[in-house]
Chains A and B, each alone.
Chain A
Amino acid sequence: MSIFDIWLGILQGLDVTATVTGYGLLFAVPFALIFGVAQYLAKGAVLFAVTCIIEFWRSSAVIILLFVFYYALPVVGLMLSAVTVSAMVLGLNIGGYASQAVRAGLQSLDRGQKEAGQALGLSRSMILLLIELPQALVAMSPTFVNHFIQLVKATALVSLVTLTDMTFRAKEIAQIEYNPVGIYTSLLLAYFVVCYPIAILGRLLEARISSGRELARGL
């Protein structure tokens, strides 16, 4: 088996990696938005409950969460496919981290922004949707890109619950061919080829946002 064959073999797992990432986003994005905003707005018992849920997802080790949900849910009668469980666990874990960026982005806005909205007679939800969230999300977009990369990388875990992603393919190939250097170097490179362009995109975003900030400060 040539290095080229190894590469092709690993890339056959790219669709599973992409699928889990995509479904993961379906969990991560709503969770981050809803819980980040809730932590920003809520008070008292609701705030405590919201914080507990966020902390559960982001303070646990994602690999343990994956196994717990994969093995424990069927025991309590909940049968979910490996893809669903993986997307949910990986997505909510990253969503937990991203919710903190949403909250921090909202909290770091100048208080005057909310007040100006109130003075114009906008309702609280309009102020959130039209004034606070757009600014917070743009300011935090480089952080979201980093979280997205973490999500793509975390999908390597699904190889442990029988899904045939790139990592799983590499291990399969390793069983029929003794070429650890070629196989595992190719595996690292495969993730690099996927994630590095995203990282570059994140850097461009960050440069644009900070130059915008300097413009605002300079005038």
Chain B
Amino acid sequence: MGFDLSFALSTVPTILGAIGTTLLVALISCLGAAGIGFGFEMLRRSGGLSGYAVRFLIDFIRATPVLAWLYFLYFVLPFYGIRLGALTVGILGLSVYFSGYLAEVFKAGIDAIPKGQSEASRAVGLSRIDTIIFIIAPQMLRNIAAPLGNYFVSILKATPYLAVLAVPEMLGQAFDIASDTYRYAEPLTVAGILFLLLALAISQAVKRVETRLLGSNRR
């Protein structure tokens, strides 16, 4: 039983068809991770007991595998009566896992803004809210754009983990074909090649967007 090239090629359209799901999962998970991560960072900055709790939670998330998180959410949520689809659980899992990393991105992005910026803004008479909206936020966004782009690529590369929950992204589709035909090598290899091409293309695109965003207004 060798590698059947024509069979491999016949699996391309099906696996290619799952790119939409893969990208959608990556995008929503990235937004989710950014949202939770930003919330974590705000809580951490507020100090106090919740600050310490969040600090521990971030360390905890960063010391545990994404696969264990997916199992945890997939099996524990129903135990408490929360029934979500596999896709939702998967997106939730990636969001939680990567929020631990994005919290650090926000931290670095805010820390990098010189203290004089908010002082100067208050000195010219801007309100606290205006200072955040017009002075701090734009500078923070510029600081986090590059690492955020890199984490989008990381999240994209973690989307095939959802195959273990039978979500029909690219790897999940490949496994569907494999279990129908009892041939694993061909669909998995096709999924590997297509996914590599997708990841390379997306990371190039992210790089290009970065240089366009940062090139013009970098000091």
Residues on A facing B (Cβ under 8 Å): 55-56, 59-65, 67-68, 71-72, 74-76, 149, 153-157, 159-160, 167, 170-171, 174, 180-181, 183-185, 187-188, 191-192, 194-196, 199
Residues of B within 8 A of A67 (CB): 171, 184, 188, 192
- Contact mask for chain B residues 198-209; partner A; CB cutoff 8 A; 1 contact, 0 none: 011001000000
If A55-B200, A72-B188, A181-B79 touch, whether A61 touches B159 (CB-CB below 8 Å) is yes
Q: Name the distance in Å between A142's Cβ and chain B's nearest Cβ.
A: 13
Contact call A188/B68, Cβ cutoff below 8 A? yes
Task: Decide if the interface of chain B is mainly helix, strand, loop or mixed.
Answer: helix
A62 to B158, CA, bound (A): 8
A182 to B69, CA, bound (A): 14
A75 to B188, CA, bound (A): 12
A65 to B195, CA, bound (A): 10
Contact call A153/B160, Cβ cutoff below 8 A? no
Q: Name the distance in Å between A155's Cβ and chain B's nearest Cβ.
A: 8
Task: Decide if the interface of chain A is mainly helix, strand, loop or mixed.
Answer: helix
5 A-B pairs with the lowest CB-CB distances in the bound complex, closest first: A195-B63, A71-B184, A180-B75, A156-B65, A153-B65
Residue of B62, B67, B76, B78 with highest tally of chain A CB at under 10 A: B67
Contact call B65/A154, Cβ cutoff below 8 A? yes
- Contact mask for chain B residues 151-172; partner A; CB cutoff 8 A; 1 contact, 0 none: 0000001111101100000110
Residues of A within 8 A of B192 (CB): 60, 64-65, 67-68
Contact call A192/B171, Cβ cutoff below 8 A? no
In the complex, chain B residues 130-181 whose Cβ is within 8 Å of any chain A Cβ:
157-161, 163-164, 170-171, 178
